[in-house]
Amino acid sequence: MSDILIDHADGVLTLTLNRVEKKNAFTQAMYTTLADALDAAATDATTRVVVIQGHATVFSAGNDLRDFLSGPPISGDGASPVQRFIAAMAQFPKPVLAAVCGPAVGIGTTMLFHCDLVYAGDNAAFSMPFVNLGLCPEAGSSLLAPRLMGYHRAAEALLMGEPFMAEAALEVGLINRIVPPTEANALAQTQARKLAAKPSASVIETKRLLKQSQAAEVTQRIAEEFSSFGRMLQAPAAREAIAAFTEKRRPDFSGL
> Is there binding between residue 61 and ligand COA (CB under 6 A)?
yes
Q: How many residues bind to ligand COA according to rule CB under 6 A?
A: 14
The nearer residue to ligand COA, 27 or 33, going by C-beta atoms, is: 27
Compute the distance between CA of residue 185 and CA of residue 188 in angstroms, rounded to an integer. Answer: 5
> Is there binding between residue 63 and ligand COA (CB under 6 A)?
yes
Exactly one of 14, 34, 64, 98 binds ligand COA (CB under 6 A); that residue is: 64
33 contacts: CB under 8 Å, gap ≥ 6: 2, 3, 4, 6
Alpha helix (H) residue ranges in 22-112? 28-43, 65-70, 81-91, 107-110
The nearer residue to ligand COA, 94 or 130, going by C-beta atoms, is: 130
Instruction: Evaluate whether 85 touches 41 at the Cβ level (below 8 Å).
Output: no
Alpha helix (H) residue ranges in 54-180? 65-70, 81-91, 107-110, 141-149, 151-155, 166-172
> Is there binding between residue 133 and ligand COA (CB under 6 A)?
yes
Q: How many helices (H) and strands (E) does the chain have?
A: 11, 9
Compute the distance between CA of residue 234 and CA of residue 22 in angstroms, rounded to an integer. Answer: 24
Which of the ranges 62-70, 78-86, 168-176, 206-214 carries the binding residues for ligand COA, by CB under 6 A?
62-70
Question: CB of residue 148 vs ligand COA: minimum separation in angstroms?
Answer: 19
> Is there binding between residue 81 and ligand COA (CB under 6 A)?
no
Instruction: Evaluate whether 30 touches 6 at the Cβ level (below 8 Å).
Output: no
> Is there binding between residue 137 and ligand COA (CB under 6 A)?
no
Question: CB of residue 98 vs ligand COA: minimum separation in angstroms?
Answer: 17
Which of the ranges 17-25, 33-41, 147-155, 199-207 carries the binding residues for ligand COA, by CB under 6 A?
17-25
Binding mask 20-59 for ligand COA (x = CB under 6 A): --xx-x----------------------------------
Exactly one of 96, 105, 187, 203 binds ligand COA (CB under 6 A); that residue is: 105
The nearer residue to ligand COA, 49 or 65, going by C-beta atoms, is: 65
According to DSSP, residue 151 is labeled H
Compute the distance between CA of residue 198 and CA of residue 154 in angstroms, rounded to an integer. Answer: 34
The nearer residue to ligand COA, 95 or 102, going by C-beta atoms, is: 102
The nearer residue to ligand COA, 127 or 176, going by C-beta atoms, is: 127
Name the β-bridge partners of 7.
14
Output b/e per residue, 84-108; b: 16+ Cβ within 10 A: bbbbbbbebebbbbbbbbbbbbbbb
Which residues contact ligand COA (rule: CB under 6 A)?
22-23, 25, 61-66, 103, 105-106, 129, 133
